[in-house]
Amino acid sequence: MNTRSAWTRLALGVAPFALTLATTAAILMAMGENPLEAYANLIGGGFESWAKVADVAISMVPLMLASAGMLITFAAGLWNIGVEGQMVAGALLTTWVVQAIEAPSAVMLPLTILAGLAGGALWGVLIGLLRTYGRVNEIFAGLGLNYVGFALTNYLIFGPWKPPGGATMSGTEPFPRSAWMPLIGSTRASWLALLLAVVAILIVYVILRDTRWGLTLKAIGLNATAAYRMGVDTRRHVIFALMACGALAGLGGSLQTTAIYHRLIPQITGGNGYLAQLVVLLSGLRAQWVPLVVLYFSAVQVGSPRLELRMLLDSSLGGVLQGAVVLFFLLVNGFRQRVGLRDR
């Protein structure tokens, strides 16, 4: 098989999606459901009206920011499973600012953005310190702190930040209008939030392609020992990478509160930190593919609740469609490498 012909490449590119649709269809049929009906509901749930399209657009924002951050840590060879916690930290600091300060939008919104960046960055530094000076693998440090972050959120919502009417799972009191990101017309999408996400992915693209720091991170990612012997302060750059990622993810968490929910809720990240891991893997660690992958993930995310309403299925089918594509992508890639090696 010639792995370099255009047709083969197209087939191998489509294969992960085809395999995903086939396996999920098999599961659905085994459960006695009609897969076509399920897929139609998913797509309809994401795109049937302009309001839905706007929902997809805004739900792309936190995922895009988290993925942009994770591109940086991936370049440095880090498994940054702690992005959830970084998003939480951004959301918490933002909520604190909104509660502590009374100001018009022009002052409030920049402050919430800064709070999001700072909160996430601090959380990232904490993981970086555990990893470099504490010698705790970043997977465990990040994951453990995710749980700590969620417990902290719950504590604040049910404790110091509970609404006057009493604490509930629906979160804190709604933010004042001055802390709402400006919306596009009567939709739920905010142009400023979208702009921030686009700028973030562009910045990361440029950092990784054109800057000395990007090159340094890649050197650490490829061979940390070699980079260290060449005089790179690997510890410092690992902490910086986690800090930069944390800042972007924290902004994502901040926008969850100011652009989407307009309050702090218990599951404020919406799982975007874990999804970002999948996004970056599926994009082949390349920034230019991230927006397209995020579009697929967000469309599935917005479309899947309808499975519960119309077919009494669990909306986690959406998660299955997201995860399976990535798994098959990795396996197909491996298959391609194997065949390619044999050809030579």
Could you list the residues that contact another protein (CB under 8 A)? 27, 31, 79, 81, 130, 134-137, 139-141, 143-148, 150-152, 154-155, 158-159, 274, 277-278, 281, 313-314, 316-320, 322-324, 326-327, 330-331, 333-335, 337-338
Distance CA 43, CA 62 (A): 21
Q: How far is the CB of 308 from another protein (least distance, A)?
A: 9
- Cα(54)–Cα(185) distance, integer angstroms: 10
Contacts of residue 191, Cβ cutoff 8 Å, sequence gap at least 6: 182, 183, 184
Q: Closest CB to another protein among 245 and 317?
A: 317
Residue 195 Cβ, how far from another protein at the closest point, in Å?
Answer: 29
- What secondary structure does DSSP assign to 155-205, as a single string? HHHHTTT--TT---TT-SPPPPGGGSPPBSTTSS-BHHHHHHHHHHHHHHH
187 vs 267, which CB is nearer to another protein? 267
Q: Beta-carbon neighbour count of residue 193 at 10 Å? A: 29
Q: Is 273 exposed, middle or buried (0-12, 13-18, 19+ CB in 10 A)?
A: buried
Cα–Cα separations (whole angstroms), residue 89 to 9, 81, 118, 199, 229: 42, 14, 9, 21, 35
CB of 187 to another protein, least distance (A): 29
Q: Which is nearer to another protein, 183 or 320 (CB)?
A: 320
- Name which of 50 and 133 has its Cβ closer to another protein: 133
Nearest distance in Å: CB 39, another protein = 14
Q: Write out the two tokens for 337.
A: 């490498």
Q: Residues near 5 by Cβ (< 8 Å), separated by ≥ 6?
A: none
Radius of gyration of the chain (CA): 21
Indicate the residue among 105 and 132 with the shorter CB distance to another protein.
132
Residue 14: what residue type?
Answer: V
- Least gap, CB of 154 to another protein (angstroms): 5
Report, in Å, the least distance between residue 267 CB and another protein. Answer: 12
- Pairwise CA distance, residues 295 & 56, whole Å: 8
| C-beta closer to another protein: residue 101 or 148 | 148
C-alpha angle 132-286-205 in degrees, rounded to nearest 5: 80
16/327 Cα distance (integer angstroms):
8
Closest CA to 209 of 341, 72, 307: 72
Measured from the CB of residue 194, what is the shortest distance to another protein in angstroms? Answer: 26
Least distance between another protein and beta carbon 277 (Å): 6
- Nearer to another protein (CB atom), residue 9 or residue 338: 338
Q: Which residue in the block uniquely carries the two structure tokens 């990361």?
A: 204
167, 157 Cβ separation under 8 angstroms: yes
**Min. distance of Cβ 317 from another protein in angstroms?**
5
Choose between 1 and 107: whose C-beta lies nearer to another protein.
1
Q: Closest CB to another protein among 117 and 302?
A: 302
